[in-house]
Amino acid sequence: MAPATESIAFGSPARELEADQFGMWVFIASEALLFGAVVLAYLVSRWHFTAAFAAGSKELSFWLGTVNTAVLLTSSLTVALAAIGVEKGEGPRRVRLLLLASVALGAAFLAIKFTEYHEEFSRGLVPLFGLPFRYSGPDIHGGALFFDFYFLLTGLHVVHLTAGMIAIGGIAALWTRTPAAGRRRRTTAIALYWHFVDIVWVFLYPLLYLVNR
């Protein structure tokens, strides 16, 4: 008898793994077009309001943004190590710890991100939800547009990161009740998603924090 698959749709575990990976890639493609469209709108606006976007970018915390990039790149390492471990059939405890470490690094990223948000809120740099906007840069209109894009892009990224943390946390929580083949498929699929969220930030960091610094 052939080895068991989780779904009866697949003839072998290898086919099931392949289908899972492809499904995640198709999902990532749709996500890439979502972020790609917003980034394109950002670039067109930056083309029109070059000076205002440069001035707005200087208001962001260069150091918090840079540290957060390092935190997220490190979380990609722990996820990659988990995926390598699960493929090689390493100790399940170790792989689970690596997954939990990734969730912790994601939480650290969120903590730093919300520290930034709080600072920007207290300085009146949030042109959303009718909040008082006290930005005193050279071009108020273009500046407000920069902060609109900043909160839209980082907010969208935060939502994706949070979803990834919940998914990874869920996989780790159900770890002992999941058969080995299921652990492998879930870990490799969520690793792809997490690396994609990392790549999005790799582009957001220079686009938002490093405009003509």
List interacting residues with another protein (CB under 8 A): 18, 21-22, 25-26, 28-29, 32-33, 36-37, 40, 44, 47, 62, 66, 69-70, 73-74, 76-77, 79-81, 84, 88, 191-192, 195-196, 198-199, 202-203, 205-206, 209-213
Q: Which is nearer to another protein, 108 or 121 (CB)?
A: 108
CB of 158 to another protein, least distance (A): 19
CB of 134 to another protein, least distance (A): 26
Q: Which is nearer to another protein, 42 or 135 (CB)?
A: 42
Q: Which is nearer to another protein, 147 or 209 (CB)?
A: 209
Spatial CB neighbours of 75, under 8 Å, sequence gap ≥ 6: 101, 102, 105, 106, 109, 194, 198
83 CB burial (10 A radius; 0-12, 13-18, 19+): buried
CB of 84 to another protein, least distance (A): 5
Cα 35 from Cα 126, distance rounded (Å): 21
CB of 2 to another protein, least distance (A): 21
Q: What is the DSSP string of 156-185?
A: HHHHHHHHHHHHHHHHHHTGGGS-HHHHHH
